[in-house]
Amino acid sequence: MSNLTLVIPAKNESQSLPQVLEELKIYDYKKLIVLKKNDIKTINSIKNFDCEILYQNNKGYGDALINGINNVKTKYFCIFNADGSFNPIEIDGMIKKLESDNLDLVFASRYQTNSGSEDDTIVTYIGNFIFTFLGNFFFSLNITDILYTFVLGKTENVANLNLIRKDFSFCVELPIKAKGKNLKLGSTSSFERKRIAGKKKVNAIKDGFLILKHMIYLYFKN
């Protein structure tokens, strides 16, 4: 049986998620879909797939991921989007990197050699560049893509990080708290695909400010 669970946060993904699960059929990974109980359309769209569903306590991307990771029973977990933008073929390389370099967390990256994105806009590209710079400069994260959040890690070590951010600032809380606890972080190259269908939930301006505010908070808290 697989030692990896994919934690898949989903919000209004009835068009994309079935295709994502279809593509995942050839892999032996466990799948834990985290969504709200009232997201009936998405729930109905995946009825015939072999996956576990977890209803999140509150709302938000971070809330879904924290609930999800806390319910993973395998040695490893991987945050995996429901929109088709992550290519499952890359997961195996992430596990190999984690094991060969004895890391706690591997961050897939769109911004190093042999990588790229079909889903980036100029605004998200610049935003990510700035946040990655801040993460490396102020927190010594030494990663190349902070906001992508295609992350594979050791479940036990991450479940102990006391993650609390329920919104998209989870993206920076995870690496910063991991580094603060002396976990070992690394990166692998990734190619982000376009989302299959449906709408992007991130608002570049609103969520960008939320993320910046939380980074400043974490900097002065330590």
Report whether 17 contacts 199 (CB < 8 A).
no
Half-sphere exposure of 23 (CA within 13 A, CB side): 17
Interacting stretch for Mg ion, rule CB under 5 A, among 27-35, 64-72, 132-140, 187-195?
187-195
Q: Which one of residues 60, 135, 153, 175 is an interface residue with ligand GDP (CB under 6 A)?
A: 60
Give 10 or 211: the residue with its C-beta nearer to ligand GDP. 10
Size of the residue set binding ligand GDP (CB under 6 A):
19
Told to check if 81 binds ligand GDP by CB under 6 A, we report: yes
Q: Which of residues 191-220 bind Mg ion (CB under 5 A)?
A: 195
Least distance CB 15 / Mg ion (angstroms): 13
DSSP code string of 102-142 = T-SEEEEESSSTT-EESS--HHHHHHHHHHHHHHHHHH---
- Could you say which DSSP state residue 49 is in? S
Interacting stretch for Mg ion, rule CB under 5 A, among 83-91, 107-115, 128-136, 151-159?
83-91
Give 35 or 91: the residue with its C-beta nearer to ligand GDP. 35
Size of the residue set binding Mg ion (CB under 5 A):
3
Report whether 61 contacts 45 (CB < 8 A).
no
- Angle of CA points 165, 146, 68, to nearest 5°: 40
Residue 90: both structure tokens together: 């890359």
- Please state, in angstroms and as integers, the Cα–Cα distance from residue 151 to each residue in 42, 95, 171, following that order: 23, 10, 10
Told to check if 169 binds ligand GDP by CB under 6 A, we report: no
Give 83 or 207: the residue with its C-beta nearer to Mg ion. 83
Told to check if 83 binds Mg ion by CB under 5 A, we report: yes
Residue 149: both structure tokens together: 């959040």
Q: How far apart are CA 73 and CA 3, in angstroms?
A: 9
- Please state, in angstroms and as integers, the Cα–Cα distance from residue 213 to each residue in 146, 149, 155, following that order: 15, 18, 27
Give 103 or 111: the residue with its C-beta nearer to ligand GDP. 111
Least distance CB 38 / ligand GDP (angstroms): 11
Least distance CB 2 / Mg ion (angstroms): 24
Q: Which one of residues 14, 45, 67, 85 is an interface residue with Mg ion (CB under 5 A)?
A: 85
Least distance CB 56 / ligand GDP (angstroms): 6
Please say whether the dihedral angle defined by the alpha carbons of residues 152, 154, 156 and 161, taken in this order, is positive or negative: negative
Residues that bind ligand GDP (CB under 6 A): 9-11, 13, 34-35, 56, 59-61, 64, 81-83, 85, 195, 200-202
